[in-house]
Amino acid sequence: MENMIKRAAHDLVNSRYAVALTGAGMSTESGIPDFRGPSGVWTKNPDAERKAYRSYEFFLENPKGWWEERLTTTTIFGDLASAQPNAGHIAIGNLEKAGILKTVMTQNIDGLHEKGGTRNLLEYHGCALKLRCTSCLSRWAREAIDLEGLRKENRLPPICSNCGGIIKTDTVAFGEPIPEDVAEKSLEEAHKCDLMLICGTSAVVYPFANLPRIARHKNSGLLYRSDTSRQPQKSPDTVIIEINAEPTPLTAEGISNYLIQGKTGEILPMIVEEVKRLQ
């Protein structure tokens, strides 16, 4: 393990444009269950997953009914607002502060990367603490709109004050398009990066799981040196590092260069300590 920590720290310090991709495994040490791990929400309650697959269709058919159900049932995660970042989130924030991580793209909706100090963040599946207009993509903190008041006055769904569009939670449901602004920026980052640090994700949900494959294969073409020899050379491959409790398809397919198997909350702080020693 120690050699892997040193290797990852070396790769990070020598990167030009490193990005991080994260999933629910980042937040289990904050007491928020993941989905497909041994105690995952979908692992323990397949019905909840089947219901989640129907949520967006219900919203499109009946946004008022969708909101009334939303506001009168507890979410599968309980009270996310009081959740606290763990050592893994803080370590990711420190790698950004050290000027190494340029962007963090997370599938997590719990807001813990922001609480852990990350600033340049793309919330690929949105955030449960925010609302979003489905037309103009305006976003608000959830408490900015009195949803309970609208429900009591029979005035749901909330309507966007900027464009008149229908507002929903910022979280992206199965089958719902990834908001264009986040989707475009994430693709850009996958193309720009020369190192991708993938933490706590099973990498089975698309289109997010495409990002590592884009980073791996973007350099499969040939680049030409500017000098007259015009000898084709393969540009250096992106270094893709996985930190996860178990191997994933990225490991099996050789998309990642290596997997550091274990807890993100333990491994990431050790990497940060080694990076500080190298810098």
What would the two tokens of residue 230 be?
């015009």
When asked if residue 29 is in the footprint of ligand APR (CB under 6 A), the reply is yes
Question: Between the CA of residue 236 and those of 195, 203, 259, what are the distances in Å?
Answer: 11, 24, 20
When asked if residue 168 is in the footprint of ligand APR (CB under 6 A), the reply is no
How far from each other are the two terminal CA atoms of the chain, in whole angstroms?
21
| Neighbouring C-beta atoms of residue 207, cutoff 10 Å | 13
By C-alpha distance, which of 5, 20, 1, 48 is closest to 212? 20
Residues in a beta bridge with 233: 223
Catalytic residue (one of 10, 113, 125, 217): 125
What would the two tokens of residue 103 be?
């962007």
**131, 107 contact by CB (below 8 A):** no
Residue count at the site for ligand APR (CB under 6 A)? Answer: 23
Choose between 194 and 202: whose C-beta lies nearer to ligand APR: 202
Q: Can you tell me which of 15, 37, 80, 96 binds ligand APR, judged by CB under 6 A?
A: 37
Q: Within 73-112, which residues bind ligand APR (CB under 6 A)?
A: 107
The rounded distance, in Å, linking the Cα atoms of 274 and 47 is 44
**64, 156 contact by CB (below 8 A):** yes
Evaluate the omega torsion of the peptide bond into residue 207 and state whether it is cis, within 30 degrees of 0: yes
Q: Can you tell me which of 20, 32, 35, 256 binds ligand APR, judged by CB under 6 A?
A: 35
When asked if residue 125 is in the footprint of ligand APR (CB under 6 A), the reply is yes
When asked if residue 134 is in the footprint of ligand APR (CB under 6 A), the reply is no
Choose between 36 and 160: whose C-beta lies nearer to ligand APR: 36
**158, 131 contact by CB (below 8 A):** yes
Q: Is 125 a catalytic residue?
A: yes
What would the two tokens of residue 182 be?
């986040």
Evaluate the omega torsion of the peptide bond into residue 157 and state whether it is cis, within 30 degrees of 0: yes
When asked if residue 46 is in the footprint of ligand APR (CB under 6 A), the reply is no
When asked if residue 132 is in the footprint of ligand APR (CB under 6 A), the reply is no
Q: Within 220-259, which residues bind ligand APR (CB under 6 A)?
A: 244-246, 248
Residues in a beta bridge with 242: 198, 259
| Stretch binding ligand APR (CB under 6 A), from 131-139, 156-164, 194-202, 210-218 | 194-202
Residues in a beta bridge with 166: 159
Q: Can you tell me which of 169, 201, 238, 256 binds ligand APR, judged by CB under 6 A?
A: 201
Q: Can you tell me which of 28, 30, 55, 103 binds ligand APR, judged by CB under 6 A?
A: 28
| Stretch binding ligand APR (CB under 6 A), from 57-65, 112-120, 143-151, 261-269 | 261-269
Q: How far is the CB of 201 from ligand APR (least distance, A)?
A: 4
Choose between 165 and 262: whose C-beta lies nearer to ligand APR: 262
Catalytic site positions: 125
Applying CB under 6 A, which residues contact ligand APR? 23-25, 28-29, 34-37, 40, 107, 125, 200-202, 205, 244-246, 248, 263-265
